[in-house]
Amino acid sequence: MTIDDLGEFGLIERIRKLLPDAASSDVLVGIGDDVAVLDPGGDKLWLATCDVQVEGSHFLRDAISPRDLGRKALAINLSDIASAGGSPRFALMSLGLPRGLDVAFVDELYIGLREEASLFGVDIVGGNLSSVRHGLFIDIFLLGEAPKGEVLLRSGARAGDLLLVTGTLGDAAAGVATLLDPSLTTTPEYLQTAKDRRDGPTPRVREGRLIGASGLAHAMIDLSDGLAGDLGHLCEQSRVGARIVARGLPVAKENRELSASARGDEWHFALHGGEDYELLFAVPPSKAQELTETIEHETGTPVSIVGELLPEGSGIELTFPDGRSVPLEERGWDHFEKGQGGRA
């Protein structure tokens, strides 16, 4: 068996089984969620996460500025902290650089990293440098915090909850598609939107903090691997099924047209594209409007109801605007799945 046969999430589960259970009672959540949750004592919990950007897998060096790359590398980690309802605090970065790389590239990379960090009150407190023979990589470890009782995980959702999502879906995937296939056409305005979402995701830190502090949501996850795939993780951890209503998906008309041209399915980018870094959260129906209005009023970020959670064993289904329902394939982005290429 190879890791290609096992797949990313099968490999994670295999690694989890190889490791002992946490010996310390201070480890509240370990492998299996967006963040590790640690209790140092006192009235706050620590949230720990790390994520890597690898040239050729996550980005193409010629297609993104080093400043945008620095911002994005931190933003995807900020999104994990946001998904737990936390506030980011401290970051460390390991950087693998090919010999001969222009020092100006490193300068711009760190300028972007510094700009993103300053937006969210993050201190960059250290890291590591190494040379690499091939493509460069950026690996960031981020530590955040949240008050006890306000941390949200993937595992708390309940049948009957509504599924809400911030922002819009599928734009980053459209940006990747138009980069890799220049024959795909759309309006200049949407082409720029897609590029901006691909190269400069907006971590929903303020929104996540509001959701956690509200006490109204039962579970939350950020959408890094696509709505279908990440919803699958939430359903598995919470032991529920789900119904997604296509009519409720916040997807631009231009995105649906590009998705149909590129993949033969107008909903593909929104459901399976990945790298949206929006928040998907489960809320009781009686609280959905209140929480939606709070988020939109405080942050200006739109919130959409995209479906509902069903009893365990119901599976995950997609309902089309014409009323048809089909099982929703839960496949999201998988780094080791055969046939999956780099993102860009």
pLDDT per residue, tens digit, the chain (344 aa), is 888 777 777 787 787 778 767 657 788 988 877 899 999 999 999 999 999 999 988 899 999 999 999 999 999 999 999 999 999 999 999 999 999 999 999 999 999 999 999 999 999 999 999 999 888 999 999 999 999 999 999 999 999 999 999 999 999 999 999 999 999 999 999 999 999 999 999 999 999 999 999 999 999 999 999 999 999 999 999 999 999 999 999 999 999 999 999 999 999 999 999 999 999 999 999 999 999 999 999 999 999 999 999 999 999 999 999 999 999 986 554 444 554 444 55
* Residue span of the structural domain in which 295 resides: 162-327
Q: Model-level pTM greater than 0.85?
A: yes
Q: Compute the half-sphere exposure of residue 97: CA atoms within 13 Å on the CB side of its CA.
A: 17
Question: Do residues 139 and 186 share a domain?
Answer: no
Question: Do residues 209 and 104 share a domain?
Answer: no
Q: Is residue 91 included in any domain, yes or no?
A: yes
Cα–Cα distance for residue pair 91/99, rounded to 1 Å? 25
User: In this structure, are residues 172 and 226 in contact, taking their beta carbons and an 8 Å threshold?
Assistant: no
Output the DSSP codes for 33-68. BSSEEE--SSSEEEEEEEEEEEBTTTB-GGGS-HHH
What is the helix (H) or strand (E) element at residue 298, kind and residue range?
helix 285-299
User: In this structure, are residues 35 and 86 in contact, taking their beta carbons and an 8 Å threshold?
Assistant: yes
User: In this structure, are residues 94 and 127 in contact, taking their beta carbons and an 8 Å threshold?
Assistant: yes
Q: Is residue 121 included in any domain, yes or no?
A: yes
Can you give the CATH number for the domain in which 74 is found? Answer: 3.30.1330.10
Task: Provide the number of structural domains found in the chain.
Answer: 2
Q: Is residue 124 included in any domain, yes or no?
A: yes
Question: Do residues 174 and 320 share a domain?
Answer: yes
Question: Do residues 134 and 248 share a domain?
Answer: no
Question: Do residues 172 and 262 share a domain?
Answer: yes
Q: Is residue 342 included in any domain, yes or no?
A: no
Question: Please, what's the largest Cα pairwise distance for the chain?
Answer: 59
